[in-house]
Structure 1
């Protein structure tokens, strides 16, 4: 239990049973109720973000605490045994939310500082909340399951479709057309070689480019006039979505055979893609939270995060990802899996570390 009486584990026991995979309304109601009960004055904006702040409206230092309340489907019921809470959202990301709430309630900002809790509703799908979030922070801590490590960087994720356009013809006379499927061969070779001359990122390693879905052709006895290939891009700084698209189009246009057109379009979505980000590991935000994690009993290691995250929306401001729970353990997947869980000791450790770090940063 934190010094002001808020118990993050008790909150988590209430939060995990609340299904928030298809509709976050009930979970948002619980969050607003909890904020009200602990003396905060939350608002819910037009995008469904829940926001509460402490401190001056004109700060020299504005620290933003962020995570999300939505979960992936299907909902997994709550259970608890031997200091472990099971259920959907236990680690991704209601466990981190519980720890962030403890830190927010305990915070007592200096006269020139401000702390904002900003909780988004749509992280697992399109990030419509984070894209619309109107907070101007100087520092950001994003709650995700990191095993109490401080994560300073993450790869971005882009997706798009390569379209190859040929000329239909009878399969008995293949040379009278231009086979779009046959053009896949040089395209796939080019995808494999796309990053060969690119330097690895010092924290995130190599970018990846992976073909994931393919379809084409209309009849089994016809030279296909069109073929579509979906690709998944995991980017590293400084690559942007627009820069990736431009470079990929140029590369593929140089390898397809004559008579076949090629185009690439990023998948349409109402919000920007989650791009790669990286915060200086020597920044005060990183060193302060890392030391606080170690002091509370965590490892406090500094490393990259292995999944895309809304933290990218807050970069280039200094941003880190931190929280109890893990994406995967020695037995396999934890977050987004039927066996999702978080250890209650880790939730309390995360809360203690965050309280300490927030105090050092803004008090």
Structure 2
């Protein structure tokens, strides 16, 4: 790491900047930090902060994370090694570690890019812009900063969301046979949803996918056969399932079990960017080995374990290029939720460990 840049000092300043409603001030802090270090950052049309250095005749490695956080903002507290506050681990702690590595390494055998997105917690327009259009990164490897407690995560489930709509025909409840009851058809539809993955082999590292009903609605009057019913579904996918493949298969499965006179339509929730799909990087790739070796050599016992990540992430946008998720902090600890919770924290010593591990790995790959 450079003598001028202290990742923990940067992190303390960053956590004090609220970035759940707007990332403007946080983005300014990041741009100023890079400029003060002699780099030439740019903010692209999607709001990403980009900085690059090195040469084009070697591997291109991208360090990526996000500066937005979930609401609400939280008071910043420091107690010994612990820093508390919104964004401490998700994902300003990982950002501090990646930024330290970017500033420390001068590539002589490839290209190094820092690409920081503004809206990972919502619709990921920034990450989508990094891989599409004329300014797409077209990189060979990606390190995505998220709280992994300095483990190297090479796979994660995806997340899809949609609404199953069943349509029938309204009628007086005193003559139910004269209508088509869409709410009653939910019974069969829910059975198909429970059995949806029964014959599916679990992924060797991510396990089985999940499909969970998370909302229901239907009917307009208590004395009327309901003509419509709606069921919201949350899908946590594993490779090789895609959002469109899931939509088509779910529709077919429900169609097979509900009465023929009930209409069936399953629509994925409308969004301007693709869903975060599952990804799976070869654990034998040199990126994985470099970061795992570095983390185990500079960290605590057990650091550098190669495992899946516990949440959906923008890393899916960068796959199938070799991609790993890495950073200080926990999604949850023995006491409960950490990231996105009122007790969000990160240990300063772990930020320094992550910074040194990424620096060593990056130096070995492109330095």
* TM-score normalised by L of structure 2: 0.97
Partners of 1:266 and 1:247 in 2: how far apart?
Answer: 12
Instruction: List aligned pairs for 1:36-115, cutoff 5 A.
Output: 36-56=35-55, 58-110=56-108, 112-115=109-112
Please name the residue that 2:279 is paired with.
277
Please name the residue that 2:259 is paired with.
257
Please name the residue that 1:181 is paired with.
183
User: Out of 339, 345, 352, which is 2:356 matched to?
Assistant: 352
Please name the residue that 1:144 is paired with.
146
Partners of 1:261 and 1:317 in 2: how far apart?
Answer: 41
Instruction: List aligned pairs for 1:212-251, cutoff 5 A.
Output: 212-251=214-253
Q: Secondary structure at the match of 2:292?
A: helix
Post-superposition offset of 1:260: 0.7
Q: CA RMSD in A?
A: 0.7
User: Out of 293, 316, 321, which is 2:295 matched to?
Assistant: 293
- The ranges of structure 1 where at least 4 consecutive aligned residues each deviate by more than 6 angstroms after the TM superposition are none
Structure 2: gaps spanning 5 or more residues = 131-135
CA offsets, 1:219-254, max 9 Å, x none?
000000000000000000000001111111111111
Structure 1: gaps spanning 5 or more residues = none
Post-superposition offset of 1:79: 1.0
Post-superposition offset of 1:59: 3.1
CA offsets, 1:176-221, max 9 Å, x none?
1110000000100000100000110011000011100000000000
Post-superposition offset of 1:60: 2.3
Asked if structure 2 preserves the Cα contact closer than 8 Å seen for 1:153 and 1:305, the reply is yes
CA offsets, 1:101-153, max 9 Å, x none?
1000011111x400000000000000010011121110000000001000000
Asked if structure 2 preserves the Cα contact closer than 8 Å seen for 1:217 and 1:224, the reply is yes
More moved, 132-141 vs 154-163: 132-141
Q: Secondary structure at the match of 2:113?
A: strand
Post-superposition offset of 1:257: 1.0
Matched, 1:130 2:127: yes
CA offsets, 1:60-88, max 9 Å, x none?
20000000000000011211011110000
User: Out of 292, 315, 318, which is 2:319 matched to?
Assistant: 315
Matched, 1:120 2:122: no
Q: Secondary structure at the match of 1:70?
A: coil
Please name the residue that 2:133 is paired with.
none
Asked if structure 2 preserves the Cα contact closer than 8 Å seen for 1:208 and 1:235, the reply is yes
Post-superposition offset of 1:169: 0.4
Matched, 1:160 2:162: yes
Instruction: List aligned pairs for 1:301-340, cutoff 5 A.
Output: 301-340=305-344
Q: Secondary structure at the match of 2:98?
A: helix
Asked if structure 2 preserves the Cα contact closer than 8 Å seen for 1:153 and 1:279, the reply is yes
Partners of 1:258 and 1:245 in 2: how far apart?
Answer: 20
Please name the residue that 1:32 is paired with.
31
CA offsets, 1:245-276, max 9 Å, x none?
11111111111113111110000000000000
Partners of 1:189 and 1:70 in 2: how far apart?
Answer: 39
Post-superposition offset of 1:297: 1.3
Please name the residue that 1:10 is paired with.
9
Partners of 2:32 and 2:325 in 1: how far apart?
Answer: 26
Partners of 1:161 and 1:153 in 2: how far apart?
Answer: 27
Partners of 1:362 and 1:344 in 2: how far apart?
Answer: 27
Post-superposition offset of 1:31: 0.2
